[in-house]
């Protein structure tokens, strides 16, 4: 397949561009269905005339259906999407990129999704689906799954199939109560446990408490029990954030944010802030997973995408060679660019 794709790219490159465009349109309809033409046009940042032409083509091929509530992908369309994934992967050279990133980041596996989350919101849904499929493949009876909060991890939970495993426990990797309750670790732990028919435990502890308050709460029996379960997790699912965005989201005041950034913070993961060298320079005062425990967890899966997350992904050093990264083409190519510039 690879040789054929290279030949087509040389002789008729416009065909591959058209294929990529139609794949993107079909994928967007699938993840946003039912959806209207105008909304699709805005999502893809394409003219309505272009969208209308391509939508009519997909309809005539039996890949979508259009009714009063909008466009929806047919079963045949779903099959085509699935079969196109490998082809698009090869067209964009993502297999080579995955291998390069794996060596550069010194981790076990990298899975790169076509597209850039900064430009296409459906890329996050695809990342969530791929991550969920991988986690399903490594889950075992008696697994203890710890997960952080955030929109990336929320998409993993959203795309997780309903499967049955015996004696599985799901726990939040850290505490935290804020405005975005739907994407908090405890909420997501409960949702994932429901899909798995598993047990779960909660950790409702606000961020940024004083050390004295944290010390007092840590002796509560319920909290002690949850912390013990977190410490024996064999699967960790977490998102990677930019330090500037996450410090404000965590509720740090302006002076603390400025101080953090002045120290070179570029990344945040499970409450720890990292500089460009992967050194921890600040820890959010809360309860949950300890950084020293991360390198001993059997399976850790990070989800982060978008070109603007590239530096944060590089900086987040877990020192766990078994780490798996699910990212997108935008972040992956930017990481490689940063790597090449640092060598030259």
Q: What structural domains and CATH numbers belong to the chain? A: 2-91 (1.10.10.10), 94-343 (3.40.50.1360)
| Interval 254-278 mean pLDDT | 90
pTM of this prediction exceeds 0.85: yes
Residue 249 pLDDT level (bands cut at 50, 70, 90): confident
Please name the residue that has the structure tokens 């505490």: 175
Classified as helix, coil or strand, 80 is helix
pLDDT for 87: 80
Q: Taking residues 130-152, what's their average pLDDT?
A: 94
Helix ranges (H only) for the chain are 2-11, 13-32, 37-44, 48-60, 75-91, 94-105, 122-138, 151-158, 185-196, 211-217, 221-231, 243-249, 254-262, 291-294, 310-315, 329-343
| 163 compared with 194, residue with greater pLDDT | 194
Mean pLDDT along residues 271-294: 88
* pLDDT confidence of residue 2: 56
Check if the beta carbon of residue 93 is closer than 8 Å to that of residue 284.
Answer: no
Report helix angle 122-138 to 13-32, nearest 10.
80
Q: For residue 301, name the pLDDT band (cuts at 50, 70, 90).
A: very high
177 pLDDT exceeds 80?
Answer: no
Between CA 226 and CA 224 the distance in angstroms is 6
Higher pLDDT, 90 or 7: 90
Q: What per-residue string of b and e applies to 155-174 under the rule 16 or more CB within 10 Å gives b?
A: bbbbbbeeeeeeebbbbbbb
What the block records as the tokens of 108 is 């076990």
Distance CA 316, CA 328 (A): 16
Of 14-28, 59-73, 134-148, 308-322, the poorest mean pLDDT is in 14-28
Cβ atoms < 10 Å from Cβ of 56: 12
pLDDT digits (tens, 9 = 90+) for 89-125: 877 889 999 999 999 999 999 999 998 999 888 899 9
Average pLDDT over residues 306-335: 94
Query: What is the Cα–Cα distance from 269 to 321, expressed in whole angstroms?
Result: 17
* C-beta neighbour count of 277 within 10 angstroms: 11
Q: Is 218's pLDDT higher than 90?
A: no
Q: Say which range, 12-21, 66-75, 96-105, 132-141, has the weakest mean pLDDT.
A: 12-21
Q: Please check the confidence at residue 178 and state whether its pLDDT lies above 60.
A: no
pLDDT over 80 at 154, yes or no: yes
Closest CA to 134 of 299, 269, 297: 299
With a pLDDT cut of 90, the percent of the chain lying above it is 53
Number of residues in the chain:
344
Is residue 243 within 8 Å of 312, Cβ to Cβ?
A: yes
Using a 10 angstrom Cβ sphere, with 0-12 exposed, 13-18 middle and 19 or more buried, the burial of residue 37 is: middle
Edge-to-edge strand ranges of the sheet holding 199-200: 109-113, 323-328, 299-303, 235-239, 144-147, 169-172, 199-200
> In angstroms, rounded to a whole number, what is the distance separating the alpha carbons of residues 215 and 279?
25
């Amino acid at each position: 397949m690879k040789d054929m794709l290279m030949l087509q790219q040389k002789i008729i490159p416009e065909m591959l561009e058209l294929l990529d465009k139609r794949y993107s349109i079909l994928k967007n309809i699938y993840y946003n269905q039912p959806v209207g033409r105008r909304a699709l046009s805005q999502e893809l940042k394409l003219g309505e005339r272009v969208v209308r032409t391509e939508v009519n083509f997909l309809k005539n091929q039996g890949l979508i259906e259009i009714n009063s509530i909008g466009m929806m992908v047919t079963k045949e369309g779903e099959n085509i999407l699935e079969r196109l994934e490998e082809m698009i992967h090869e067209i964009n050279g993502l297999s080579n990129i995955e291998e390069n990133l794996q060596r550069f980041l010194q981790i076990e596996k990298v899975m790169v999704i076509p597209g850039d989350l900064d430009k296409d919101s459906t890329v996050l849904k695809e990342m969530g689906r791929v991550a969920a499929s991988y986690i399903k493949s490594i889950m075992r009876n008696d697994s203890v799954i710890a997960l952080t909060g955030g929109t990336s991890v929320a998409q993993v939970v959203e795309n997780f199939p309903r499967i049955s495993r015996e004696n599985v426990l799901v726990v939040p990797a850290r505490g935290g109560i804020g405005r975005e309750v739907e994407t908090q670790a405890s909420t997501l732990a409960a949702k994932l446990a429901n899909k798995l028919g598993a047990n779960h435990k909660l950790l409702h502890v606000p961020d940024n408490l004083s050390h004295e308050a944290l010390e007092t709460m840590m002796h509560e029996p319920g909290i002690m029990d949850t912390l013990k379960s977190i410490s024996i997790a064999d699967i960790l699912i977490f998102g990677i954030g930019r330090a500037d965005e996450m410090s404000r989201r965590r509720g740090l005041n302006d002076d603390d944010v400025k101080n953090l950034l002045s120290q070179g913070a570029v990344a945040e993961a499970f409450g720890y802030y990292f500089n460009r060298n992967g050194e921890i320079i600040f820890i959010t005062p809360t309860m949950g997973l300890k950084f020293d425990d991360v390198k001993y967890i059997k399976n850790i899966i990070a989800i982060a995408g978008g070109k603007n997350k590239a530096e944060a992904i590089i900086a987040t050093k877990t020192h766990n060679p078994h780490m798996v990264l699910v990212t997108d083409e935008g972040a992956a190519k930017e990481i490689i660019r940063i790597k090449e510039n640092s060598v030259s």
